[in-house]
Amino acid sequence: MATMTEAEKEKKLLEKVAKGEKITSVEEMTAEYRELLTNLMMMQADSELAGGYGYVPWIMKSPDIRETLVVSQIVKDEIRHARVMYRLLEGMGVDVDEYYNKHNFSLRVDSADIGTERVADDKRVNIFYYPIETWYDFIMFNFCMDRGAGHQLEDSLDCSYKPWCDTMEGIFKEETMHMAHGDQWVKRLAADPKTKEATQKALDTWFPRTMNIFGRRGSKKNILYRKYGLKKRDNDDVRQSFAADVAKKCAEYGLKVPHWEPEAQKMTEEPFIPG
């Protein structure tokens, strides 16, 4: 059987995507599709791993034994999500062990605001470079970042690469539970006059950081992701969906949505797919 040219493979791949059919093997992929898919999955895997590492101290610093168990489970979930994603990447030809040993996923920054910049050469979304310093930070991370990740993951639940779709179903359910944990705590803390101010302060910190994760409106890379069925929406559409979700919750809990403005010149073209 004659080997297909890259142009023939591209035509066949796009026809499948247009019909809503799934790509199931590396052999079906063009070089560009494979590169874009690898990039998105690496972003998710690195973010899952870095996120789990960031939560670890709160196993020991939780306010009670119940929360010690909850945080332990969240950490376990995130590390398992990372391993599942890295396993998919191994199937794409990535040397995961070599990659893992080259990067420090425990790295955190001292800066209060790094905007949309990454501070190392791993692929994690930059919110995972910030340390989680208080219980309010931990809860607000669940409330904001897990919610933001959920809005992003909606696209990958029905993306064009079937092995990723199959994996995302379980991950999405667990991320939804993490977000619900944050919701329960934010509601409780916002209702108490003794803790409402600290809760609002944490929201003022983590909401803008989460708004920065989605990427630039109309980015060239996002257009390519949508062309190949790896994403379904523009970055800013996902951001606005997240912001509306937060605004609804804040109205319910009596909190004020912080102001946010995009860094027009700096915002990355790469959206986050997470955990």
Query: What is the per-residue pLDDT across 127-151, written as a single tens digit (0 to 9) for each?
Result: 999 999 999 999 999 999 999 999 9
pLDDT of residue 116 exceeding 90, the answer is: no
The confidence band for 102, taking pLDDT boundaries of 50, 70 and 90, is very high
pLDDT digits (tens, 9 = 90+) for 190-245: 999 999 999 999 999 999 999 999 988 999 999 999 999 999 999 999 999 999 99
The token pair that represents 189 in the structure block: 């803390």
Strands (DSSP E) found in the chain? none
Residue 180: name the closest of 142, 206, 149, 207 by CA: 142
Residues above pLDDT 70, as percent of the chain? 95
The span from the CA of 165 to the CA of 171, in Å, is 10
Task: Indicate the pTM of the whole model.
Answer: 0.91
pLDDT on residue 274: 39
pLDDT of residue 273 exceeding 70, the answer is: no
Mean pLDDT of 88-97: 96
Q: Which residues contact 168 (CB under 8 A, 6 or more apart)?
A: 153, 156, 157, 159
The span from the CA of 150 to the CA of 183, in Å, is 14
The span from the CA of 48 to the CA of 181, in Å, is 17
pLDDT on residue 264: 59
Mean pLDDT of 246-252: 97
pLDDT on residue 272: 42
Please, what CATH class does the domain formed by 25-110+129-253 belong to? mainly alpha
Mean pLDDT of 67-72: 98
Residues above pLDDT 90, as percent of the chain? 83
pLDDT of residue 170 exceeding 60, the answer is: yes
pLDDT on residue 2: 59
pLDDT on residue 115: 82
C-alpha to C-alpha distances, 4 to 7, 12, 27, 66, 199, nearest whole angstrom: 8, 10, 10, 57, 58
pLDDT on residue 45: 97
pLDDT of residue 155 exceeding 50, the answer is: yes
